[in-house]
Amino acid sequence: MTDSPPGALRGLSEICFGASPLGAVYGAFAERDGIAAVHTALDLGITCFDVSPYYGRTLAETVLGKALRGTDRSGYLLATKVGRYGDTAFDFSAARVRRSVQESLQRLGTDHIDLIHCHDIEFGDLDQIVEETVPALRELQVAGLVRAVGVTGYPLPALAHVAERVHVDAVLSYCQYTVQDRRLARWRDRFARCGTAVLNAAPLAMGALTSRGPAPWHPAPAEVLDACAAAAELCRSRGEDIARLALQFSVTTGGFATTIVGAAQAEEVRRTLRWIREPLDEDLLHDVEHCLAPARDRGWTSGRPEN
């Protein structure tokens, strides 16, 4: 089953380009390589890009804006976010999110944003998100500056709580429909009843399910990262790449409105699109699942304790 997104989000490609690596979140990159990655994505049929002012403190939006300059704006959807501006800097007030959208439009060099998300709502006051932030974004929608409104975050109960109190067009969940953690699947019906499209981000578990491994800031507990490293080693010993299996698993079995994969290199984009067309090796999947069993569906806490 594939979620069918509401009107403004029709046109989401199976893979959405995740632009957090363009904010140097995964380490330094050459700007020309990042721009080439965006152009490769467009050339290969990716029609959506996800970014945030938070990624690299506006760097990712700036680089993405540069890359998209001169492209056919009707050919892709742009998603960005409001409310998160630093590791501990959050502001979901109506005044700040209105200003934030204007700033993002400038950086991205566009006159509209297709999907505007409240970023990492578990760090805010959920009543404020429902009563103030989403209504302020709906006003911007009426004014034509944004076309759809969503919420992102890690704890699924917080996303569902908001989606059930105020209509949002999309929720973005991350690291919770992967070969290691499948908790998002259990929430699918609840979001469907709200008429909310589900975007599945970070199928590579923010680098933990790659041969390179996670960045030092990865929030998962050591037992989870150790199990992912053991699974990567198992794949390597069979001449396989854990990233290939992880991408194939999330994209071909997930059925979400899109899967958002981060990249700052053209070769990663090419590989991702090639791999998801190749058949999933069920035997390897079985062995990797066995290896990941001690860490299955295990994550971390994020945000305010009450959320």
Place of tokens 């590989």: 271
Is 55 known to be catalytic? yes
Size of the site for ligand NAD (CB under 6 A): 27
Output the six-digit token pair for 143. Answer: 């004014």
CB of 22 to ligand NAD, least distance (A): 8
Find the binding residues for ligand NAD in span 59-118 (CB under 6 A).
none
Q: At 151, is the secondary structure helix, strand, or coil?
A: strand
The binder of ligand NAD chosen from 20, 100, 180, 196 (CB under 6 A): 20
Q: Nearer to ligand NAD by C-beta: 142 or 158? A: 158
Q: Nearer to ligand NAD by C-beta: 235 or 291? A: 235
Please count the other Cβ atoms lying within 10 Å of the Cβ belonging to residue 255.
15
Close Cβ partners of 95 (under 8 Å, ≥ 6 residues apart)? none
The binder of ligand NAD chosen from 113, 172, 251, 257 (CB under 6 A): 172
Cα torsion 177, 170, 105, 60 to 10°: value is -10
CB of 270 to ligand NAD, least distance (A): 8
Close Cβ partners of 155 (under 8 Å, ≥ 6 residues apart)? 122, 301, 302, 303, 307
Residues constituting the chain? 307
Output the six-digit token pair for 147. Answer: 């076309």
Find the binding residues for ligand NAD in span 183-222 (CB under 6 A).
201-207, 210
Q: Nearer to ligand NAD by C-beta: 3 or 50? A: 50
* Residues at the site binding ligand NAD, with contacts judged by CB under 6 A: 18-21, 26, 50, 119-120, 152, 172, 174, 201-207, 210, 243, 260-263, 268, 271-272
Hey, which residues are catalytic here?
A: 55
